[in-house]
């Protein structure tokens, strides 16, 4: 590899032994799939048959046998963590070449296409997809402003808002634009007149069509609103990329040249929009495209109403000559688990015998054969009187497994919804069991964020002097570091004198309280007042940062044994805050608290980001996120009716029937989607599955009776072993006490070292990060790695706006070959600056400053401005990774221009908006200089030289 100076052949030879050994282990059909390098291939096979393994092996094979470069291969996985797992799998097979293979999700791939081609996608660089709250707010105002009939009940105008959100998401995922929706609705409407229908059916259908027509209006207005804001939503990203690929062949060609092989894992769940992108990428080769997909219709969980066989049918229609391979050998589970699971899924009628290959062979569902042929207990079912007992049982069982020597990471607890995790987590903490939980937690419901929100609320209430009760709570949080006895004394005083706690503390001259540390208490309370004052002056992100620092909360979090978890939650909240501020520059504390209130009211969560650390801990996850994974022992918790099976799906705005091209979803039986989810859960287990449920669910002082899940009923008795829970129920009373104890300090689950290593795995070293590190390693850790919440400083916002104006200036010259008017350039700057979050005063000052410097720059360089080679070129992101040994590096170069096209030499240019510096200072030759500027230029040269896709040499650097 050029980066580390080792020739590629040597590396390949070193790893070809590992590859050969793994290859020899494959069975005949797996080998066939790996060996078929050319043309379209579809592997359709059940869980644990090695589909993902085959996909990885095939990448290795392509690299071994052809002269394809790793960056010419695109492997698409379903989630970020699946991408990571795939890269790690590949690293063990082919070594460091694996770094250069493009392994990514559809979303990251498309996001990268958007970022790298600003001329086709008119979003500002900082534009992020709409948050859930923003989406809600946009739709709310649309519905409120329109005279809808069918989807706007008079008494509850927002009744359908969530259905609209879901419908628009589904439409975009299935690639249905407003125009095509109109056609679909018209088709359905026309059909009503020709079909023979009962009066009720006709009425129902007509009503649906009315709703759909109004939905179409909402969809149109929603898209308009997004365009007006220069924003897009999460679903748009993929849709836009396929649109642009279709419209602009020259853009598509760039990617077609770069990508010679496309491989897709979990193909059953790729939706129409994603499929369109994949197909366009390989479309140049028509029917002979090098596209390799692996999937299992029975594990389809995410596609629109579980359109399970849609993809396989469409694939065969698109590539009639495709090789279809099915695998039958299972390498994961015992035969008993496989038999039980097979028996269950055979009840799904829609999938059975439906995929037919060109030879007329039906590709469907033979029972899988376990590699180990082990029988034994298939599925243990345990019933309990109430859910706390069920939870304790799980904790006890997990604990026993671990004591018997099972690695915690070989155990998983699966549940149906994110909300199910809290009680189980609580028990695991009290049982001292290490666990990790996949993202998805609503940070607004976590203690550390609630503490911060209480603090915000106290500050806000100072205004109306209603802070008392909450002030007491906040003062008692550990990070305030105030003596609890002092707080008690002060509150007693307040109560006896019938005045506010705040007043007692802030003015103790009048009250002699003999406190231990009155200064600390007073200082804290004075800070509250100061923060209230600061709210008027600062932008909200700045305020957030200030309060986080000055309250002692940040310090507390950094010192806590679970600092990583806390920090991750603070970051997740701060990300939301930045989004809010980007949408409303004038965001103030009151608005923020109101937004949080609205989110709670409408059940909109701020989802915690996945920390992606793999530690030896028990896995807690929803069944959906367990897809593709495997463990020795699997628990399926809360297996009751209405949760697993017979879930009440709210489908108040049914979408037109022609939405899917291959299947009509109404053919399926109602519980098929849910049954697949249960099937996926069962087949995650290698050795044992334990399904638990409780007859009574207790929440607060209410209790509800539950039936067990229909899937337990559907599993033939011979595959079940009933756990006799009588004895456990008796002993559970003493254990319940343990569950009710006050929480002790949580065990650190994630070791800081492991966390940092995890962060480093994804880390791209930029010149700024390097300079920060050299300045102070601890600062580097906080700012570059851990990313402590920090508001963007106004000088940085100013820099961004100047960059943007210059970028557009040179883009203009490249496009039209003339220098644009000065006013135009200044206009671009103003527009860009107004998108930045800053206070009114700051904005005014920065506007003036920018107008001045741009004008001077323009006058001075007007005659020298010439065509550039690249503007804003990103190195080391997206498709091309750059490594210096094993350190991934990257950066953005503002401008690159030719020096000598014959010698292929170029100059790199970086814009600086700070104070001008002397040459000696830049070179690091003065006493005060850190040499950071020069280092930055050298870094750029390194990037350009190491990038395999960049064929030019940097001979000069300019600021």
Stretch that binds ligand ATP, among 48-56, 635-643, 748-756, 832-840 (CB under 6 A): 48-56
Residue 49: contacted member of ligand ATP, Mg ion, none (CB under 5 to 8 Å, by partner type): ligand ATP
For position 3 contacting Mg ion by CB under 5 A, the verdict is no
Min CB(340)–ligand ATP separation in Å: 16
For position 52 contacting Mg ion by CB under 5 A, the verdict is yes
On whether the CB atoms of residues 676 and 348 are closer than 8 A, the answer is yes
When computed from its CA atoms, the radius of gyration of the chain, rounded to whole angstroms, is 30
Min CB(436)–ligand ATP separation in Å: 20
Tell me how far apart the alpha carbons of residues 910 and 893 are, in angstroms, rounded to a whole number. 6
Residue 332: contacted member of ligand ATP, Mg ion, none (CB under 5 to 8 Å, by partner type): ligand ATP
Min CB(326)–ligand ATP separation in Å: 11
- For the chain, helix (H) and strand (E) counts, in that order, are 36, 22
On whether the CB atoms of residues 906 and 898 are closer than 8 A, the answer is yes
Q: Which residues pair with 696 in a beta bridge?
A: 386, 705
On whether the CB atoms of residues 49 and 338 are closer than 8 A, the answer is no
Distances from the Cα of 170 to the Cα of 154, 174, 210, 219, 606, angstroms: 26, 6, 19, 12, 21
Min CB(872)–ligand ATP separation in Å: 39
Comparing CB distances to ligand ATP, the nearer of 100 and 331 is 331
Phi, psi (deg, nearest 5) at residue 620: -110, 125
Unique residue bearing structure tokens 């292929």: 904
Min CB(332)–ligand ATP separation in Å: 5
Stretch that binds Mg ion, among 50-58, 135-143, 241-249, 910-918 (CB under 5 A): 50-58
Comparing CB distances to Mg ion, the nearer of 27 and 177 is 27
Tell me how far apart the alpha carbons of residues 529 and 856 are, in angstroms, rounded to a whole number. 44
Min CB(941)–ligand ATP separation in Å: 42
Unique residue bearing structure tokens 């020899």: 24
Residue 102: contacted member of Mg ion, ligand ATP, none (CB under 5 to 8 Å, by partner type): none
Min CB(261)–ligand ATP separation in Å: 19
Tell me how far apart the alpha carbons of residues 420 and 7 are, in angstroms, rounded to a whole number. 52
Residue 336: contacted member of ligand ATP, Mg ion, none (CB under 5 to 8 Å, by partner type): none
> How are beta strands 870-875 and 891-900 bridged, if at all?
antiparallel
Q: Find the binder of ligand ATP among 3, 53, 335, 491 (CB under 6 A).
A: 53
On whether the CB atoms of residues 316 and 360 are closer than 8 A, the answer is no
Residue 296: contacted member of Mg ion, ligand ATP, none (CB under 5 to 8 Å, by partner type): ligand ATP
According to DSSP H, which parts of 649-751 are helical?
672-682, 710-714, 726-740
Min CB(680)–ligand ATP separation in Å: 8
Q: Which residues pair with 43 in a beta bridge?
A: 294, 325
Stretch that binds Mg ion, among 488-496, 589-597, 628-636, 721-729 (CB under 5 A): 628-636
According to DSSP H, which parts of 51-175 are helical?
51-65, 80-94, 106-116, 132-145, 161-173
Name the token pair of 672: 């098929």
Residue 385: contacted member of ligand ATP, Mg ion, none (CB under 5 to 8 Å, by partner type): none
Comparing CB distances to ligand ATP, the nearer of 106 and 331 is 331
From residue 610 to residue 639, what is the string marking binding to ligand ATP with x (rule CB under 6 A)? Answer: ------------------x-x---------
Unique residue bearing structure tokens 């799906």: 649
Number of chain positions touching ligand ATP (CB under 6 A): 17
For position 331 contacting ligand ATP by CB under 6 A, the verdict is yes
Decide: helix, strand or coil at residue 124. coil
By CB atoms closer than 10 A (0-12, 13-18, 19+), residue 104 is buried
From residue 574 to residue 613, what is the string marking binding to ligand ATP with x (rule CB under 6 A)? Answer: ----------------------------------------
Tell me how far apart the alpha carbons of residues 118 and 101 are, in angstroms, rounded to a whole number. 24
Phi, psi (deg, nearest 5) at residue 500: -70, 150
Min CB(701)–ligand ATP separation in Å: 42
For position 936 contacting ligand ATP by CB under 6 A, the verdict is no
Stretch that binds ligand ATP, among 51-59, 433-441, 812-820, 919-927 (CB under 6 A): 51-59
Comparing CB distances to Mg ion, the nearer of 51 and 569 is 51
Long-range contacts of 80-89 (CB under 8 A, 24+ apart): 80/105, 80/108, 80/610, 80/612, 81/438, 81/610, 81/612, 82/265, 82/266, 82/628, 83/108, 84/612, 84/761, 85/628, 86/52, 86/55, 86/56, 86/265, 89/52, 89/53, 89/56
Residue 542: contacted member of ligand ATP, Mg ion, none (CB under 5 to 8 Å, by partner type): none
Min CB(684)–ligand ATP separation in Å: 7
Min CB(98)–ligand ATP separation in Å: 16
Q: Find the binder of ligand ATP among 34, 44, 49, 73 (CB under 6 A).
A: 49
Residue 789: contacted member of Mg ion, ligand ATP, none (CB under 5 to 8 Å, by partner type): none
Q: Find the binder of Mg ion among 70, 129, 388, 628 (CB under 5 A).
A: 628
Stretch that binds ligand ATP, among 44-52, 356-364, 511-519, 809-817 (CB under 6 A): 44-52
For position 50 contacting ligand ATP by CB under 6 A, the verdict is yes
Comparing CB distances to ligand ATP, the nearer of 331 and 524 is 331
For position 890 contacting ligand ATP by CB under 6 A, the verdict is no
Window 256-315: residues binding ligand ATP (CB under 6 A): 296, 299
Distances from the Cα of 145 to the Cα of 141, 169, 193, 505, 612, angstroms: 6, 21, 33, 49, 43
On whether the CB atoms of residues 238 and 107 are closer than 8 A, the answer is yes
Stretch that binds Mg ion, among 141-149, 171-179, 626-634, 882-890 (CB under 5 A): 626-634
On whether the CB atoms of residues 606 and 572 are closer than 8 A, the answer is yes
Unique residue bearing structure tokens 């003062």: 475
Comparing CB distances to Mg ion, the nearer of 51 and 416 is 51
Min CB(26)–ligand ATP separation in Å: 5
Window 11-40: residues binding ligand ATP (CB under 6 A): 25-27, 30
Q: Find the binder of ligand ATP among 58, 84, 135, 332 (CB under 6 A).
A: 332
Min CB(264)–Mg ion separation in Å: 11
Q: Find the binder of ligand ATP among 19, 23, 41, 48 (CB under 6 A).
A: 48
Min CB(105)–ligand ATP separation in Å: 16
For position 47 contacting Mg ion by CB under 5 A, the verdict is no
By CB atoms closer than 10 A (0-12, 13-18, 19+), residue 352 is middle
Name the token pair of 866: 């010439």
Find, among 279, 289, 287, the residue nearest to 311 by Cα.
Answer: 279
Min CB(356)–ligand ATP separation in Å: 22
Stretch that binds ligand ATP, among 50-58, 169-177, 604-612, 948-956 (CB under 6 A): 50-58
Find, among 51, 37, 53, the residue nearest to 328 by Cα.
Answer: 51
Residue 875: contacted member of ligand ATP, Mg ion, none (CB under 5 to 8 Å, by partner type): none
Name the token pair of 543: 């305020």
Comparing CB distances to ligand ATP, the nearer of 31 and 546 is 31
Tell me how far apart the alpha carbons of residues 74 and 817 are, in angstroms, rounded to a whole number. 36
Tell me how far apart the alpha carbons of residues 522 and 502 are, in angstroms, rounded to a whole number. 9
Provide the binding-site residues for Mg ion, judged by CB under 5 A: 51-52, 628
Binding-site ranges for ligand ATP (CB under 6 A): 25-27, 30, 47-53, 296, 299, 331-332, 628, 630
């Amino acid at each position: 590899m050029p980066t580390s100076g080792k020739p590629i052949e040597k590396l390949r030879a070193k790893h070809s032994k590992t590859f050969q050994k793994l290859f020899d282990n494959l069975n005949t059909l797996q080998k066939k799939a790996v060996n078929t390098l050319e043309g379209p291939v579809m592997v359709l096979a059940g869980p644990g048959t090695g589909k993902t393994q085959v996909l990885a092996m095939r990448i290795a094979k392509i690299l071994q046998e052809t002269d394809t470069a790793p960056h010419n291969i695109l492997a698409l996985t379903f989630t970020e963590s699946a991408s990571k797992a795939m890269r790690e799998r590949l690293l063990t097979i082919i070594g460091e070449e694996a770094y250069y293979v493009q392994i990514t999700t559809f979303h990251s791939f498309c996001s990268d296409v958007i970022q790298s081609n600003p001329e086709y996608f008119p979003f500002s660089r900082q534009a992020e997809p709409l948050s859930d709250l923003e989406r809600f707010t946009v739709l709310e105002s649309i519905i409120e402003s329109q005279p809808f009939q069918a989807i706007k009940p008079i008494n509850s105008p927002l009744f359908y808002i969530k259905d609209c959100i879901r419908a628009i998401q589904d439409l975009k995922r299935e690639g249905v634009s407003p125009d095509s929706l109109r056609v679909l609705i018209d088709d359905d409407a026309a059909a009503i007149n020709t079909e023979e229908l009962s009066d009720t059916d006709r009425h129902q259908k007509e009503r649906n069509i009315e709703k759909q027509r109004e939905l179409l209006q909402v969809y149109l207005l929603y898209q308009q609103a997004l365009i007006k804001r220069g924003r897009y939503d999460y679903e748009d990203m993929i849709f836009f990329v396929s649109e642009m690929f279709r419209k602009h062949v020259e853009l598509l060609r760039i990617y077609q040249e770069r990508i010679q092989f496309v491989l897709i894992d979990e193909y059953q769940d790729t939706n129409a929009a994603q499929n369109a992108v994949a197909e366009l990428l390989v479309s140049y080769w028509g029917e002979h495209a090098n596209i390799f997909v692996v999937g299992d219709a029975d594990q389809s969980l995410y596609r629109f109403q579980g359109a399970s066989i849609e993809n396989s049918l469409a694939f065969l229609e698109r590539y009639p000559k495709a090789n279809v391979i099915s695998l039958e050998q299972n390498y994961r589970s015992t035969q008993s688990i496989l038999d039980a699971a097979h028996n269950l899924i055979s009840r799904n009628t829609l999938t059975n015998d439906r995929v037919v290959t060109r030879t007329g062979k039906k590709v469907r569902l033979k029972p899988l054969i376990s590699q180990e042929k082990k029988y034994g207990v298939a599925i243990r079912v345990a019933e309990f009187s109430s859910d706390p007992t069920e939870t304790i049982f799980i904790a006890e069982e997990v604990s026993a497994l671990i004591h018997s020597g099972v690695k915690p990471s070989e155990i998983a607890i699966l549940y149906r919804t994110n909300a199910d995790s809290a009680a189980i987590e609580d028990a695991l903490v009290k049982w001292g069991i290490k666990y990790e939980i996949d993202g998805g937690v609503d940070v607004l419901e976590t203690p550390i964020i609630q503490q911060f929100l209480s603090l915000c609320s106290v500050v806000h209430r100072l205004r109306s002097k209603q802070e008392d009760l909450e002030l007491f709570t906040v003062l008692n949080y550990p990070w305030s570091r105030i003596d609890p006895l002092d707080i008690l004394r002060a509150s007693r005083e307040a109560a006896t004198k019938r005045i506010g706690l705040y007043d007692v503390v802030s003015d103790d001259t009048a009250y002699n309280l003999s406190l231990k540390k009155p200064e600390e208490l007073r200082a804290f309370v004075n800070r509250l007042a100061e923060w209230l004052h600061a709210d008027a002056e600062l932008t909200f992100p700045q305020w957030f940062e200030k309060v986080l620092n000055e309250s002692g909360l940040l310090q507390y979090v950094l010192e806590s044994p679970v600092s990583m978890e806390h920090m991750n939650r603070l970051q997740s909240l701060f990300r939301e805050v930045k989004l809010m501020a980007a949408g409303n520059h004038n965001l103030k504390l009151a608005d923020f608290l109101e937004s949080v209130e609205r989110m709670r009211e409408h059940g909109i969560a701020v989802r915690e980001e996945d920390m992606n650390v793999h530690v030896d801990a028990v896995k807690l996850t929803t069944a959906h996120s367990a897809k593709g994974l495997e463990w020795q022992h699997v628990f399926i918790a809360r297996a009751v009716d209405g949760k697993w099976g017979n879930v009440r799906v709210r489908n108040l705005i049914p979408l037109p029937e022609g939405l899917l091209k291959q299947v009509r979803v109404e053919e399926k039986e109602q519980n098929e989607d849910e049954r697949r989810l249960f099937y996926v859960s069962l087949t995650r287990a290698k050795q044992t599955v334990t399904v638990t449920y409780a007859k009574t669910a207790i929440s607060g002082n209410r209790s509800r009776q539950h039936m067990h899940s229909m899937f337990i009923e559907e599993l033939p008795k011979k595959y079940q072993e009933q756990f006799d829970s009588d004895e456990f129920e008796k002993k559970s009373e003493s254990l319940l006490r343990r569950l009710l104890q006050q929480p002790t300090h949580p065990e650190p689950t994630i070791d800081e070292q492991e966390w940092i290593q995890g962060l480093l795995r994804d880390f791209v070293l930029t010149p700024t990060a390097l300079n920060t590190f050299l300045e102070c390693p601890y600062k580097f850790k906080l700012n570059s790695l851990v990313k402590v919440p920090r508001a963007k400083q106004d000088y940085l916002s100013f820099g961004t706006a100047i960059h943007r104006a210059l970028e557009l200036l040179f883009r203009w010259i490249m496009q039209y070959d003339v220098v644009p008017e000065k006013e135009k350039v200044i206009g671009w700057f103003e527009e860009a600056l107004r998108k930045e979050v800053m206070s009114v005063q700051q904005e005014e000052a920065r506007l003036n400053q920018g107008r001045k410097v741009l004008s001077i720059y323009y006058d001075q360089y007007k005659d020298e401005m010439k065509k550039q080679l690249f503007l804003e070129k990103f190195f080391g992101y997206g498709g091309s990774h750059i490594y210096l040994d094993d350190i991934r590096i990257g950066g953005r170069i503002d401008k690159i221009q030719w020096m000598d096209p014959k010698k292929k030499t170029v100059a790199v240019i970086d814009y600086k908006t700070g104070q001008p510096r002397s040459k000696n200072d830049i070179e690091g030759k003065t006493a005060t200089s850190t040499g950071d500027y020069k280092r930055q230029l050298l870094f750029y040269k390194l990037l350009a030289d190491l990038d395999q896709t960049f064929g030019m040499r940097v001979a000069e650097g300019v600021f």
